């Protein structure tokens, strides 16, 4: 073997990385309070593995690479795992997946493609459940993989965990079964829990995983029982006692015993299918009600698993193909207080730019005054930032242990940063508001909204351009859009004749518009797409709306007190009357509410069968209706789309007979999200 020269810096770095990993392991596993993102931890761990592979002479018996973190918390008894609970190696790319699969083929001396099982890597807490004669006997956390904590009493409170195996399924109950799976909290459950903690002045959990861990490691199981914990099974440490030759068959047996198996598990005959499934899972992950941080890929056949074996840390027959990280740490440079179109003041953190999932994040919302106070945020603070899907990036938590004393406190303003009007806090509301309707910031935001995607969607009039129009004085209220002319537009910096012409054409195009769409675009407080539709059905003209009083609004089905008050305030404002008059002079023509034709699912009739993963059946039906479609309860020729969820049954057969188009849940999601931001 060729000896490498070791530079002192690398030796120092190796020790440093070990020290860091120990520190973060303790934060994560013992305190349930990590201060770096999983992605950053993975990077650190990778660095350690690389350094140790390069310099075997610095191997050390107590390196964190030998175990997977964790220690027994005070108050719980330790349990020695009969079969060690291994971890998984991580991969991050298609290239790594391909080399994983090639390595397996080399190891097994085969050129045949391997059959894999893929499972979502639900981000919760790994647990072991020991069943004796079919009865739940003991449950424990993973701990360091060899020794965990006895949390039997707590696990028994998780309703998804069977206390006794179902024995009427034609399978013999083994004497002893070591079941493994993931305990987790739904996103909804996590938010509810945090809301409650907020009301009670308790510290909030950073994410569902920590909330699940915190809930399971309650010494008082009665507290655990009040937390909506959930569970998916994914394996057994002694599968030889069951009639299953591979992972897929094993999951079937487990599900017959009464364990919940993720409906997203799939067998893949070819590696290319795994790659496809990865993309699919990535696409739907944000629509699931629980956090999934990757895909676990397992060789299906137990015979092959046994031949492949495992290293000290992880099996060779499985990997975790992680999704790009959604969190990162960075520093707060400043806080901007933004006034929205309804006057709500939102604190926004301006950050040292940091890349998350391929996008550079420079700003993140701090939500509201209370949230800011609760976090005790200061300028110069290190913070954990999250960007998940299309959601606006948010500051998840402050890392006060990284303060150096130079941080400065931040005051929430008492008057509007734009118009100086005193800010108001209405009791029971989280929002701090500027209540001056004529505040320039609010007007500007209303104009941006009116021209934007949720409004008239005027091409060429994005946020920046609208701001420019306001700045230059060409537009002051929404009616002004209808009186723009080519000359002044073309002479704006960066415009020119062509862009002026295009924008004018886009505006002209929208002057004839369904009433509901127009009402929605006005950005009236509490009036979204649905309410706008209701209004358009009840009023045939803007005139009618301006003449209605609060009582009249309130009598309409689907319009509550708050909305009625907001509508009255808007439509009785003389400024609004003038603006509407000018819009009409400018050519605004409202089309009657027969606008269903405009809606993307108009004329289509959906039938749902089987269970959906991303949303409830009710939500799915609501979505269809909101987009102008109809929902049928029985299969008939009238149906245009059959959406088949998991375990879809007899209706599918009938639908096939009638040759109706079948959609997977994924197809459906793509269909209803088409055209959304």
93 contacts 107 by C-beta, under 8 angstroms: no
Task: Tell me: does residue 92 bind ligand IVH (CB under 6 A).
Answer: no
Q: Per the residue annotation, which of 11, 103, 111, 121 is the catalytic one?
A: 121
Candidate residues 119, 291, 300, 407; the one interacting with ligand IVH per rule CB under 6 A: 119
Look-up of token digits 């310099």: 55
DSSP code for 314 = S
Q: Is residue 612 at the binding interface for ligand IVH, with CB under 6 A as the rule?
A: no
Q: How far apart are CA 676 and CA 514, in angstroms?
A: 19
Maximum Cα interatomic distance, the chain, rounded to a whole number of Å: 90
User: Which SS3 state, helix, strand or coil, does residue 130 take?
Assistant: strand
Sorted by sequence, the CB contacts under 8 Å of residue 524 that are 6+ apart come out as 566, 567, 570
Token reading at 549 = 């009083």
Residue from 35, 211, 250, 320 touching ligand IVH (CB under 6 A): that is 320
3-class secondary-structure state, position 123: coil
Nearer to ligand IVH, 67 or 375 (CB): 67
The one-character DSSP state at 392 is P
- 209 interacts with ligand IVH by CB under 6 A: no
Contacting ligand IVH within 260-319 (CB under 6 A): 296, 315, 318
CB of 106 to ligand IVH, least distance (A): 21
| Residue 254 touches ligand IVH, criterion: CB under 6 A | no
Which has the closest alpha carbon to 130: 163, 157, 160? Answer: 163
Q: Is 606 in the site for ligand IVH (CB under 6 A)?
A: no
According to the binding rule CB under 6 A, does residue 145 interact with ligand IVH?
A: no
Q: Taking phi first (over 0 means left), then psi (-120 to 50 degrees means alpha), and beta for anything else, what does residue 209 get?
A: alpha
Would you say 87 or 207 has its CB closer to ligand IVH?
87
The least CB distance from residue 87 to ligand IVH, in Å, is 4
* Residue 121 is a catalytic residue: yes
Binding of residue 87 to ligand IVH (CB under 6 A): yes
Q: How far is the CB of 464 from ligand IVH (least distance, A)?
A: 43
* Identity of the residue, 51 or 122, whose beta carbon is nearer to ligand IVH in the bound complex: 122
Closest CA to 273 of 102, 444, 113: 113
Query: Does residue 356 belong to the site contacting ligand IVH (CB under 6 A)?
Result: no
Q: Tell me which residue of 654, 666, 651 sits closest to 609, measured CA to CA.
A: 651
Closer CB to ligand IVH, residue 251 or residue 583?
Answer: 251
Residue nearest to ligand IVH (CB): 126
| 126 lies in the site for ligand IVH, by CB under 6 A | yes
Using CB under 6 A, pick the residue from 29, 234, 257, 450 that binds ligand IVH: 234
Residues that bind ligand IVH (rule: CB under 6 A) add up to a total of: 15
- Our finding on whether 21 is near ligand IVH (CB under 6 A) is no
Say how many Å lie between the first and final Cα of the chain, rounded: 56
Distance CA 235, CA 238 (A): 9
With binding defined as CB under 6 A, does residue 144 bind ligand IVH? no
Report the candidate in 232, 207, 229 with the shortest Cα–Cα distance to residue 218.
229
Residue 559, CA distances (Å) to 82, 194, 535, 545 in order:
61, 30, 9, 14
Q: What token pair was written down for 324?
A: 């790009």
Q: Which is nearer to ligand IVH, 126 or 158 (CB)?
A: 126
| Least gap, CB of 675 to ligand IVH (angstroms) | 34
Which residues bind to ligand IVH, rule: CB under 6 A?
Answer: 86-88, 119, 121-122, 126, 142, 182, 234-235, 296, 315, 318, 320
Query: Which residues are marked as active site?
Result: 121
């Amino acid at each position: 073997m060729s000896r490498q020269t070791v530079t002192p810096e690398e030796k120092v770095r190796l020790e440093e990385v070990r020290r860091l990993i120990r520190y973060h392991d303790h934060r994560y596993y013992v305190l349930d309070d990590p201060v770096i993102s999983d992605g950053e931890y993975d990077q650190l761990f990778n660095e350690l593995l690389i350094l140790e592979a390069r310099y075997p002479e610095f191997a050390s018996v107590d390196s964190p690479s030998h175990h997977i973190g964790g220690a027994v918390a005070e108050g719980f008894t330790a349990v020695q795992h009969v079969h060690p609970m291994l971890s998984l190696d991580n991969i991050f790319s298609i290239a790594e997946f391909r080399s994983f699969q090639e390595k397996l083929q080399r190891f097994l001396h085969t050129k045949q493609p391997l059959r894999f099982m893929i499972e979502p890597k639900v981000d919760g807490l790994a647990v072991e459940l020991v069943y004796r004669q079919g009865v739940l006997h003991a449950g424990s956390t993973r701990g360091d993989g060899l020794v965990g904590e006895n949390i039997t009493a707590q696990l028994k409170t998780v309703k998804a965990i069977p206390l006794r195996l179902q024995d009427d399924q034609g399978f013999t109950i083994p004497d002893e079964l070591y079941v493994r799976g993931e305990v987790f909290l739904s996103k909804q459950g996590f938010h509810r829990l945090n809301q409650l903690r907020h009301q009670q002045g308790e510290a909030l959990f950073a994410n569902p995983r920590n909330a699940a861990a915190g809930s399971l490691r309650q010494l008082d199981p009665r507290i655990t029982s009040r937390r909506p914990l959930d569970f998916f099974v994914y394996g057994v440490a002694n599968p030889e006692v069951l009639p299953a030759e591979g992972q897929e068959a094993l999951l079937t047996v487990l599900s017959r015993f009464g364990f919940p198996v993720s409906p997203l598990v799939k067998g893949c005959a070819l590696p290319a299918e795994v790659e496809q499934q990865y993309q699919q899972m990535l696409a739907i992950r944000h629509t699931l009600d629980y956090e999934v941080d990757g895909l676990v890929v397992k060789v299906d056949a137990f015979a092959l698993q046994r031949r492949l074996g495992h290293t000290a840390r992880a099996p060779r027959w499985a990997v975790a193909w992680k999704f790009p990280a959604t969190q990162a740490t960075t520093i707060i440079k400043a806080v901007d207080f933004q006034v929205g179109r309804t006057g709500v003041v939102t604190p926004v953190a301006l950050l040292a730019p940091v890349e998350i999932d391929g996008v550079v994040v420079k700003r993140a919302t701090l939500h509201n005054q209370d949230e800011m106070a609760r976090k005790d945020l200061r300028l110069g603070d290190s913070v954990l930032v999250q960007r998940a899907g299309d959601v606006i990036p948010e500051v998840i938590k402050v890392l006060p242990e990284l303060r150096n004393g130079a941080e400065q406190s931040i005051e929430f303003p008492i008057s509007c940063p734009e118009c100086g009007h005193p800010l108001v806090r209405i009791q029971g509301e989280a929002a701090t508001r500027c209540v001056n309707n004529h505040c320039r910031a609010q007007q500007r935001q209303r104009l941006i909204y009116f021209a934007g995607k949720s409004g008239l969607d005027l091409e060429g009039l994005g946020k920046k351009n609208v701001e420019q129009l306001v700045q230059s004085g060409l537009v002051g209220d929404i009616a002004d859009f209808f009186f723009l002319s080519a000359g002044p537009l073309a002479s704006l910096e960066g415009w020119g004749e062509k862009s002026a012409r295009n924008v004018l054409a886009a505006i002209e195009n929208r002057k004839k518009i369904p009433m509901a769409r127009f009402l929605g675009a006005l950005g009236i407080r509490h009036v979204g797409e649905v309410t706008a539709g209701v209004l358009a059905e009840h009023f045939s003209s803007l005139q009618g709306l301006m003449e209605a009083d609060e009582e009249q609004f309130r009598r309409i089905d689907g319009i509550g007190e708050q909305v009625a008050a907001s509508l009255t305030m808007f439509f009785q404002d003389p400024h609004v009357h003038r603006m509407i008059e000018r819009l009409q002079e400018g050519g605004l023509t409202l089309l009657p509410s027969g606008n269903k034709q405009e809606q993307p699912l108009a004329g289509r009739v959906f039938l749902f069968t089987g269970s959906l993963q991303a949303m409830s059946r009710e939500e799915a039906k609501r979505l269809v209706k909101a987009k102008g479609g109809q929902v049928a309860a029985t299969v008939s020729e009238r149906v245009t789309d059959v959406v088949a969820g998991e375990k879809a049954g007899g209706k599918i057969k009938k639908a096939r007979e009638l040759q109706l188009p079948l959609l997977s849940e994924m197809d459906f999601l793509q269909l209803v999200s088409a055209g959304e931001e």
